[in-house]
Amino acid sequence: MTSLVFITIAAAVLILLVFWVLNTVSDQKRTKLPPDHFKFESASELALDGSGEFYLAPDTIKLQLTEKVYGLVYWNLSQAKWHEVSAQYGMKPDLRSIVLRLTEVGESVHYSDMWVNTTAGQYRFKLRPLHSYYLSLGIIQRSVFVPILTSKTITRQI
């Protein structure tokens, strides 16, 4: 019997606490911000949705500087464009032939190829000071790189 009384009292206290919190929150003064308070720019080709994912337009590659020392590249190659380029060069569209080529320009020009095996993705890499970078997404045919999408160039300052 005492446990039933204890549960009833605890439930009553909890209900009163919930009502008190809800009334306190609704009584607070709400301020309305002026419409020009939120000044921002947006890019239609790179938009965030509610789930935290991003949308990148088809046949697009974007390279950006993050945290002042990293490069972040996003790409989205449409199936139609990929099949069109593969047919143009007489290749069978195979995911294993998709390559992301990182070109680094400093005192000399260096490039490195990464097999990405996907038509949409992202890659993050560390930048060296006073070097410029750009990326190309393409295919390799008979040891020849065929670029399909090419990003803008970014440079890390000191």
Is 19 domain-assigned? Answer: no
Is 120 domain-assigned? Answer: yes
pLDDT 10s digits, 101-157: 999 998 889 889 999 888 899 999 999 888 999 999 998 877 888 899 999 999 988
Is 86 domain-assigned? Answer: yes
The number of distinct structural domains making up the chain is 1
Is 14 domain-assigned? Answer: no
CA gap 114, 142 in Å, rounded: 16
Residues 75 and 120 sit within 8 Å (Cβ to Cβ): yes
Query: In the chain, what is the straight-line distance between the N-terminal and C-terminal CA atoms, in Å?
Result: 75
Residue 113 makes CB contacts below 8 A (sequence gap 6+) with 99, 100, 101, 102, 140, 145
Q: How confident is the model at residue 54 (pLDDT cuts 50, 70, 90)?
A: low
Range of the domain at 87: 56-155
Is 75 domain-assigned? Answer: yes
Count Cβ atoms below 10 Å from residue 123 Cβ, excluding itself: 15
pLDDT at 61 (0 to 100): 94
Give the CATH number, domain containing residue 108.
2.60.40.10
Task: Compute, in degrees rounded to 10, the torsion defined by CA atoms 118, 123, 129, 130.
Answer: 40
Strand 70-76 with 120-126, pairing = antiparallel
Secondary structure E strands in 12-131:
46-48, 54-56, 60-66, 70-76, 98-105, 109-115, 120-126
Is 4 domain-assigned? Answer: no
Global pTM reads: 0.63
CA gap 105, 75 in Å, rounded: 21
